[in-house]
Amino acid sequence: MGDNKPHWSGSEVILNQLMEIARVSALAEMASGVAHELNQPLGAIATFSQAGERMLDRPEPMVNRALDVFRQISHEALGAGEGIKRIRRLFEQNPLKSDRCQMSELIAEIRPILEILTRRIKGCLQLDVPSVLPDLLVDRLRIQHVLFALVQNAVEASAQTSGALMIRIDVSTDRYCVETSISDSGPGVPTELQDKLFRPFFTTKRQGTGLGLASSRAIVESHDGTIGFENFPAGGSRFWFRLPVVEI
């Protein structure tokens, strides 16, 4: 009787590592989103406070007490901005651990996990991945997190439709980059939501965090890559990311 324990044990280890990468990436993007949301109004408070100080700090000030209040507002607003920077530094990810590898290797390592995701909706996972590809210089786990997140997104989109549920991974290359795309059989991305997809905290799911696509974008861009999507005319969508190849 065969023993598959080592195989599944290895998959479980990778899954745990991916979930840790997802957690850290989500926290980093959460901190980034908080900073983005709060720094602008805090900067406005500081600007208006300083303007009030200039108006009151003149030969005939209106109210000296108000001047002190404005100075305190300015001080507190700037202090809050510094506090946000400190909070963000707490959640900064460790430096990238770059390895020379091929996308086919990264996909093969987590394929059992991706198939588990697909089977949950009684779907089928198809792969079109050349066996030989140009080398990449990437943090393996972080790029695998991007694959995991995009396949999970495709699974959730496909689950919204009936009929044959198909998730497809395609890899292609040119002299400059390797492109990996994940296609689904879902309803596609509505026009009014397309500009918001990769923003932190944006989600259309009841229990979603709005961080999966945002963290994927951050990881890809930290590797000097690009990420995007397109709708298919007949339905469904394709999310893709491109990573630069290692120069020979």
**Domain range 98-244, CATH class:** alpha beta
Range ranked top by mean pLDDT from 5-14, 30-39, 87-96, 135-144: 135-144
- CA-angle at 135, arms to 133 and 138, nearest 5°: 125
- Residue 239 pairs with which residues in a beta bridge? 182, 229
Take residue 161 and report the two structure tokens written for it: 């439709």
Of the candidates 218, 203, 246, 239, the one whose C-alpha atom is nearest the C-alpha of residue 98 is 246
- What pLDDT is recorded for position 94? 65
SS3 91: coil
Q: What is the pTM of this model?
A: 0.65
> Which residue has better confidence, 130 or 189?
130
Exposed, middle or buried, 67 (CB in 10 Å: 0-12/13-18/19+)?
middle
Name the CATH code of domain 6-90 (choices 1.10.3720.10, 1.10.287.130, 3.90.1150.10, 3.30.70.270): 1.10.287.130
The arithmetic mean of pLDDT across residues 189-204, rounded, is 66
How does pLDDT run across 147-163, given as a tens digit for each residue?
Answer: 999 998 898 888 887 77
pLDDT per position as a tens digit, 51-103: 778 777 777 766 776 777 677 777 777 777 776 676 666 556 667 788 899 99
Cα distance between residue 134 and residue 104, in whole Å: 10
The pLDDT of 180-203, averaged and rounded, is 76
Lowest mean pLDDT across 20-24, 192-196, 207-211: 207-211
